[in-house]
Amino acid sequence: MGLSTTGDIISHAIARNFGIGAFNVIGIEHAEAIVAGAEQVRAPVLLQLSENTIRFHFGQLAPIGLACLAIARSSTVAVSVHLDHATSVELCHEAQALGITSLMFDGSTLPYDRNVAETMQVASWGHARGMWMEAELGEIGGKAGVHVPGARTNPDQAVKFVEQTRVDALAVAIGTSHAMLERSAKLDLALLARLRDAVPVPLVMHGSSGVTDDDLGNAVRAGMVKINVGTQLNQVFVGAVRTALDGTDSVDPRVFMAPGRDAISSTVGRILVAIGADTDL
């Protein structure tokens, strides 16, 4: 299939009742590994680039963004490239100009009214250019964002937020948290069911690295569509690199980076199966 739009991939997932894995890219090895893992289980996948990753690449989106697009084009499964947690409008514009078809504008740390106003403006701009737009709703009146331990999304406010901003998907808080190193998150599946029934757009789960495979599947069956994973890939990559370094005196980076890349591929494949990987795209 190769390079696809996020909107098409998400629509296909909704029609067939499975989840879409959206995996964070740090470097080109991550992107290669994510797509290889998706190809192993014949499932569509999203490559996500965050502002943190772009800062790591000296603040330049184009080199890593174009690399991800090239890897997507050469894939045998459907792959989309997504800009994640963007707070800079200028970065959103650059992503669209490169050929990235979707983004998540993150105003979750802003007061509610300002989050609505800025998200609505970016969503209107993106829709005029055929982009799929995701957003995140912060706590009522708060500036900490929703993805902190114990935070929960209010269904009534979520409905209002989507109506006001007209985004295509909403990241909601049901018990996960970013950067979890242990898979110990306790999902509020009853709240997820309420959100699914109330909110008229696909739901997104951030912080999915802290969720067990069984609960990933449970979340998809309860209404979650897009599953974001980052920290878990970094964990297995670093673990494999450390093991390889302990066993060699080689100064060739390929000797220890290849096992790290393979570890990411295996993890991606396992997660895609857990969320009901579909083979018909």
State pLDDT tens for residues 110-121.
Answer: 888 999 999 999
Residue 83 lies in a domain: yes
The Cα 24–Cα 238 span in angstroms is 15
Residue 280 lies in a domain: no
Position 144 pLDDT exceeds 60: no
pLDDT recorded at residue 148: 66
The one catalytic residue among 84, 168, 188, 278: 84
The Cα 49–Cα 26 span in angstroms is 8
For residues 49 and 82, the answer to whether their CB atoms sit within 8 Å is yes
- Where is pLDDT greater, at 36 or 206? 36
Sort strands 45-50 and 102-105 into parallel, antiparallel or unpaired. Answer: unpaired
Per-residue pLDDT tens digits for 44-92: 999 999 999 999 999 999 999 999 999 999 999 999 999 999 999 999 9
Domain that holds residue 12: 2-274
CA 231, 236, 238, 239 torsion-angle sign? positive
Its pTM stands at 0.93
Q: Is 249 part of the annotated catalytic residue set?
A: no
Per-residue pLDDT tens digits for 227-236: 999 989 999 9
| For range 136-160, the mean pLDDT | 74
Of the ranges 11-15, 60-64, 248-252, which one carries the lowest mean pLDDT score? 248-252
- Per the structure, the count of domains in the chain is 1
Residue 85 lies in a domain: yes
Residue 48 lies in a domain: yes
Residue 156 lies in a domain: yes
For the chain, strand residue ranges (E) read 2-3, 20-24, 45-50, 78-86, 102-105, 132-136, 169-171, 203-205, 224-229
Position 184 pLDDT exceeds 90: no
> What number of H helices and E strands is found in the chain?
11, 9
The neighbour count for residue 182, using CB atoms within 10 Å, is 7
The neighbour count for residue 55, using CB atoms within 10 Å, is 10
* DSSP-assigned letter for residue 181: S
Residue 219 lies in a domain: yes
Residue 279 lies in a domain: no
pLDDT recorded at residue 64: 98
Overall residue count recorded for the chain in this entry: 281
**CATH code of the domain containing 37:** 3.20.20.70
Position 142 pLDDT exceeds 60: no
Position 4 pLDDT exceeds 90: yes
3-state helix, strand, coil in the chain (%, to 5): 50, 15, 35
3-state DSSP call for residue 250? coil
The Cα 69–Cα 111 span in angstroms is 34
Distance between start and end Cα atoms, the chain: 7
Residue 111 lies in a domain: yes
